[in-house]
């Protein structure tokens, strides 16, 4: 199976984040190295609109498919369009059909090669249409509310006064690993009734969108917890 790493250059929340130095190397390098260390991934491709990201990704061992068009690198561009574009490019370059792919976001630097292998193993074992990585939510989702402009609150769900311990735990996608049948993506979908969740611990589920996220990832990479054992 091949891996595609989508890395847009125009981040607003944390400019230049995909090549910002984290733990002594560019952020994107952590994902490339995890993919290359996977026993299930044969090739790793970079999909970007940015020359600097492209050069650094290739330096760390990713393969090039050319820069993606600007219309696929806007704030409102859909990720699924980038995936389908990248699939078509790779198929043309290698003159081979891709039936399955693994998408690895560069903003999840703490996911490991073993996480990738386990997610793909689940995909293969269940003959899945897709496998998506999730992590557990500490607080019940029914506690979430909308905040109005006047700072009043609007319920999203029916209000419950039950204690957290009595409510079923929910999970949310952590952005780290997506394994897809390409036929599902061509339908414009990520999920079906044959989609399964690969559960990862919160300690490996940091998804970097902001400087706070980046600083937290640095803290975890520093080995703080390991040093406390």
- Domain ranges (residues) in the chain: 2-135+171-228
What is the distance between the alpha carbons of residues 8 and 164, in angstroms, rounded to a whole number?
38
pLDDT surpassing 50 at residue 126? yes
The helix (H) or strand (E) run that includes residue 86 is helix 79-94
Q: CATH top-level class for 2-135+171-228?
A: alpha beta
Give residue for tokens 């993919």.
35
Q: Mean pLDDT, to the nearest integer, of 173-180? A: 97
- Give the torsion through C-alpha atoms of 60, 61, 63, 69, to 10 deg: -10
pLDDT of residue 165: 65
Q: Mean pLDDT, to the nearest integer, of 12-33? A: 93
> Which of 40-49, 131-140, 172-181, 197-206 shows the lowest per-residue confidence on average (mean pLDDT)?
131-140
3-state SS assignment for residue 39 = coil
pLDDT surpassing 80 at residue 229? no
Give residue for tokens 């506690």.
143
- Percentage of residues of the chain with pLDDT beyond 70: 94
Q: Are 74 and 80 in contact (CB under 8 A)?
A: no
- Give the torsion through C-alpha atoms of 148, 151, 156, 160, to 10 deg: -170
3-state SS assignment for residue 52 = helix
The whole-model pTM stands at 0.89
């Amino acid at each position: 199976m091949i891996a595609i790493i989508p890395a847009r250059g125009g981040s607003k929340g944390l400019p230049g984040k995909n090549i910002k130095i984290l733990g002594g190397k560019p952020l994107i390098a952590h994902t490339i190295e995890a993919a290359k260390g996977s026993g299930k991934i044969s090739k790793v491709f970079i999909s970007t609109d940015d020359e600097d990201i492209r050069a650094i990704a290739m330096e760390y061992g990713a393969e090039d498919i050319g820069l993606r068009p600007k219309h696929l690198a806007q704030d409102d561009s859909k990720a699924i369009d980038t995936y389908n574009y990248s699939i078509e490019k790779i198929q043309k370059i290698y003159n081979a059909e891709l039936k399955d792919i693994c998408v690895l976001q560069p903003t999840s630097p703490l996911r490991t090669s073993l996480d990738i292998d386990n997610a793909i193993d689940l995909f293969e074992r269940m003959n899945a249409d897709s496998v998506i990585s999730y992590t557990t939510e500490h607080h019940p989702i029914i506690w979430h509310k909308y905040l109005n402009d006047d700072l009043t609150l609007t319920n999203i769900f029916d209000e419950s006064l039950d204690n957290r311990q009595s409510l079923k735990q929910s999970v949310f996608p952590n952005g780290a690993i997506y394994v897809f049948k390409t036929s599902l993506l061509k339908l414009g979908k990520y999920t079906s009734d044959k989609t399964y969740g690969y559960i990862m611990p919160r300690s490996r589920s940091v998804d970097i969108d902001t400087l706070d996220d980046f600083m937290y990832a640095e803290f975890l990479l520093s080995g703080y917890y390991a040093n406390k054992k």
